[in-house]
Amino acid sequence: MKKLLGLSLMLLTLCGILQASEFDRLRMMEERGVQNADLYYNLGVTYWQIGQSGMANLYFLKALNLDSAHKLAKENLNYAISLSADRELYPPKPFLLRLFYEIYDFMNLNRIASLSLLLLLLTAATFSWLLHYDPSKERELPTLVFGISLFLLLSSVVFLSIKAYRRAHNPKAVLLQSEANLRSEADPEAQRVAVIHEAIIMDVLRDEGEWSLVRLPDGSSGWLKSDAIGRVIGP
C-alpha cells in the first residue's frame, strides 16, 4: 500500500515537473517570437490550470486572432466565460447573429484568402467567356454568371480586408487583476461606473496616458488603468 502511495506521489511529482517544463518551453517559444495558434491555445490551457483565468482568456483570444476557426480555443473561451464572475455582462446573441459569427469565424484569414483567389479565377474565366461569347447569340447567361461571380469576389475581398485589418488592429483586451474599478474619467478619484473581475473581455477604444477607455461586453464603457489589462495586440 505504501509502495503504491509512493509510486502515485512520484507520478504526480513527475507530472507536475513535466507540466512545468512544458509551460517553460511554451513560454520560451513565445518569447522567441513564434506566432502559432496552437502554441497560444496550449499556453491558455496551462494558464487556466494554474488558476490565472485572465491570462488564459488572453491567450485563447490570441489564438483566435491568428486563427478565428480554432475550435478548441473558442470552446475553452466560452467555457471560461461561462464560469467568470462577470458572465452576466455578456449578452445572449440571437440565433441568426450566432450563425453569422460562426461563419465569420470559420472563414479564417487563410480560408477567405483562398476563397478570394478561387473567386478571382472564376470571375476571370467568366469574364473571358463573356468576351469571347458569340455576338450573334444572347449574352444573358454569361453576363449573369459573370455578375454573380464578380459580386461574390467583391464581397469576399471586402470580407478579407476586414479580417486582415481586425487581425492587425484587434482591440480586444482582458482584465488581468482579480478586480478593478471602471471609472467615468481617467482619474482615480472619478466616479466608479462598475466593478469588474478578472478575465472579463473588453474592447480598448482609446488610450490616454496611464489610462484606457474600454467598452465592456454589455456595451457600457469607462476608464481603467492600462496596466490592469492584457491586450491581444500590442504591449
Partner 1 sequence: MKKLLCLLLALIPIVGFATTVTASVNRNTLDMADRLEYSLQIKSESRIDISEPAPPQIENFSFVNMRSKTSSSTVIRNFKSQSEHIITYIYYYIPQGPGSSKIPAQDIRVGTKVYTTHEIELIVVDSGSGARGQNAPGISPGFDFDDPDLAWSANRLAGETVILAYPPRQQVYRGQPAIISYYLYTDQMVRSFNLEDEQDFPGYGKSIYDQPNTLNYETVTYQGKRFQRALVKRLMLLPNATGEMQAPILSGRARIYEFGYLNQRVRSEAAWLEVLPLPQVNVPPSFTGAVGTFEVSDDLSADKVSLGEAITYSLRISGTGNFNQFTHPDMPVTQAQMTAPMAIDRLNAGVEGSRTLHYTIIPSERGSFILPSLSFSWFDPSTGRYQTFHSQEREIEVKSANVISYFSGLLETGNPQSLRPMLSRNSYPQQSNFLRSFWYWLAVALIFASTGFSAYLAWLKHKARNNPEDYARIMADKALKKYLSEASEAVKSLSEDFYSLAENGLLKYLSDKYGISSRLSVAEKLDKLEDKNLAKTTLEETRAFIGICEEQRFSPQKRGADKILEDYQRLRRIVNLYSKKGVKR
Region near partner 1 per CB under 8 A, out of 6-14, 123-131, 172-180, 201-209: 123-131
Each residue of 36-60: b (16+ CB within 10 Å) or e?
ebebbbbbbbbbbeeebbbbbbbbb
Among 113, 150, 213, 233, binds partner 1 (CB under 8 A): 113
Residues 48-77 that bind partner 1 (CB under 8 A): 48, 66-67, 71-72, 74-76
Nearer to partner 1, 76 or 221 (CB): 76
The site map against partner 1 for 136-165 (x = CB under 8 A) is ------------------------x---x-
C-alpha cell at 178: 482579480
* Spatial distance between the Cα atoms of 60 and 46, rounded to a whole number of angstroms: 11
C-alpha cell at 231: 491586450
Q: At what angle do helices 53-66 and 71-83 cross, to 10 degrees?
A: 150
Region near partner 1 per CB under 8 A, out of 95-103, 169-177, 203-211, 218-226: 95-103
3-state secondary structure of 90: coil
Nearer to partner 1, 3 or 132 (CB): 132
* Spatial distance between the Cα atoms of 194 and 155, rounded to a whole number of angstroms: 40
φ, ψ for residue 190, nearest 5 deg = -65, 165
**Residue ranges binding partner 1 (CB under 8 A):** 22, 29, 34-39, 41-42, 45-46, 48, 66-67, 71-72, 74-76, 78-80, 82-83, 85, 95-96, 98-99, 102, 109-110, 113-114, 117, 120-121, 124, 127-128, 131-132, 135, 160, 164
